[in-house]
Amino acid sequence: MAKLAYLDCASGISGDMTLGALVDAGVDLPTLNEAVGSLGLPGCRLIAEPVKKCGFRATQVTVEYEPEHAHRHLSHIVAMIEGSRLSQSQKTLAIQIFTRLAQAEATVHGVGIEKVHFHEVGAADSIADIVASAVGFDLLGIDRIVASPIPTGTGKVQIAHGECSIPAPATAELLRGIPLAPSSIPFELTTPTGAAILATLVESFGPMPAMTVRQIGCGAGQRDLDEQPNVLRLLIGETANADSPAEQRPVWVLETNLDDVSGEMIGYCTDRLWDAGALDVYTTAIQMKKNRPGVKLSVLCHAAELAAIEAVLFAETTTLGVRRWQVDRHTLSRHPHTVQTAYGPIEGKVATLEDGAARFSPEFESCRQIAAKQGIPLNDVYEAARKAFDAK
């Protein structure tokens, strides 16, 4: 049974809002403080208190820590996390979030990731926010996280490099490929810390998926807004169709029409798209302006790979524009399986159909290697694999 979490980011997201929502949803505060305390940050601890935002109850988490003047590099933070008492899965998740943040900062400043000099996000409170959030989500045992489109707010924000428009440069970089929601509130609603957590943990964005809600946590932001409650809601539950072998998840479709690119270039681009994390890549013959024959190049991907896929399309083709939209994809549950045949073991996948029946699909590469090695028709290998599965 899959455990889902939905982040309702009506007022954006920050590290302290995330922590507040996690604690409000039932994550044990002493356990989070034990994790933060093992980082070696002097006097650093989390304090939670109930508050009201526009009349709605929420939990506000603040970080107490001794003043410091340290500006850390990624390597310093990674060493701090590796030396802590976090579990391996918690360490990995926390490092992934900081690495995602460092990649965004490196892009913004045009330097290598190892030279990124964290300012606000390298401070003790931000380190505690990210590490405790990683620990909290790990403790909840979430299988999949979905979030609403993200409002960033409007206006200006003061950062270490001066005054910047909202979203701040690193925040904007982290939100590449993530759907944004309109907002006229003149404050920074989504911070770099919140954006890094989203970009690392969230699998898809859109409306709340079908689920049975079991827990709800409300995390308060520090600022009071006149227009709406400054609250992040975390809804935790289970898939409504947990016993179904099929699963529905939103993915993105990207398409572009090409009439001046050679077949070899399209083939190379296709390879790059697979490397960038595409779920599917295919071409369609089309007729374009002035009766020119062309090719429609289509790609399927998750939201997290959207920016990388689009970058490949612009870099490896002559296209001037890419169409993209979100769709629901209905997939069957599947798992790897190996069958034993007279030709040897053959790998494949077993899919479970809606009626509970199982279907085996041999892997091409496994069949190809046997056919080539033994000098037999490829179709004979496929047939042997299917018969071996049916006979079991």
Mean pLDDT of 315-319: 93
pTM for the whole structure: 0.64
Mean pLDDT of 18-45: 95
Secondary structure (3-state) at 334? strand
Domain-terminating residue out of 189, 216, 239? 239
Domain-terminating residue out of 209, 239, 269? 239
Query: Which pLDDT value is given to residue 185?
Result: 93
Query: Which pLDDT value is given to residue 242?
Result: 44
Tell me, what CATH number does 341's domain have?
3.10.20.300
- Say yes or no: 328 and 338 in one domain: no
Domain-terminating residue out of 191, 220, 239? 239
| pLDDT confidence tier of residue 140, bands split at 50, 70 and 90 | very high
24-47 as b/e: b if 16+ CB within 10 A? bbebebeebbebbbebebeebbbe
Mean pLDDT of 218-241: 91
Burial of residue 262, with CB atoms counted within 10 A of its CB: 0-12 exposed, 13-18 middle, 19 or more buried: exposed
Mean pLDDT of 382-386: 94
Query: Which pLDDT value is given to residue 161?
Result: 64
Which has more pLDDT, 169 or 248? Answer: 169
- Say yes or no: 208 and 339 in one domain: no
Mean pLDDT of 230-259: 79
**Within 13 Å of residue 253, how many CA atoms lie on the same side as its CB?**
11
Those residues with Cβ within 8 angstroms of residue 351's Cβ, 6 or more apart along the chain or in another chain: 332, 333, 334, 358, 359, 361
Query: Which pLDDT value is given to residue 243?
Result: 46
- Say yes or no: 384 and 284 in one domain: no
- Say yes or no: 76 and 189 in one domain: yes
Query: For the segment 273-292, what is each residue's pLDDT rounded down to a tens digit?
Result: 998 889 999 999 999 988 88
- Say yes or no: 191 and 288 in one domain: no
Query: Which pLDDT value is given to residue 144?
Result: 87
- Say yes or no: 192 and 269 in one domain: no
Cis peptide upstream of residue 167 (ω within 30 degrees of 0): yes
| Mean pLDDT of the chain, nearest integer | 89
Structural domain boundaries enclosing 347: 334-390
- Say yes or no: 294 and 228 in one domain: no
- Say yes or no: 218 and 314 in one domain: no
- Residue 227 corresponds to which tokens in the numbers above? 């227009």
| pLDDT confidence tier of residue 119, bands split at 50, 70 and 90 | low
Mean pLDDT of 290-307: 90
H or E stretch including 78? helix 74-82
Instruction: Count, in order, helices (H) and strands (E) of the chain.
Output: 11, 18
Mean pLDDT of 357-383: 93
Q: Is the pLDDT of residue 101 over 60?
A: yes
Instruction: Report how far residue 378's alpha carbon sits from residue 209's, in angstroms, rounded to the nearest whole number.
Output: 42
- Say yes or no: 302 and 342 in one domain: no
Q: Domain tally for the chain?
A: 3
- Say yes or no: 113 and 182 in one domain: yes
- Say yes or no: 214 and 159 in one domain: yes
Instruction: Report how far residue 115's alpha carbon sits from residue 111's, in angstroms, rounded to the nearest whole number.
Output: 6
| pLDDT confidence tier of residue 80, bands split at 50, 70 and 90 | very high
Phi/psi-derived region of residue 215, left when phi > 0, alpha when psi is between -120 and 50, beta in every other case = beta
Q: Is the pLDDT of residue 207 over 90?
A: no
- Say yes or no: 278 and 318 in one domain: yes
Query: Which pLDDT value is given to residue 333?
Result: 78
% of the chain at pLDDT higher than 70: 94
Q: Is the pLDDT of residue 104 over 80?
A: yes
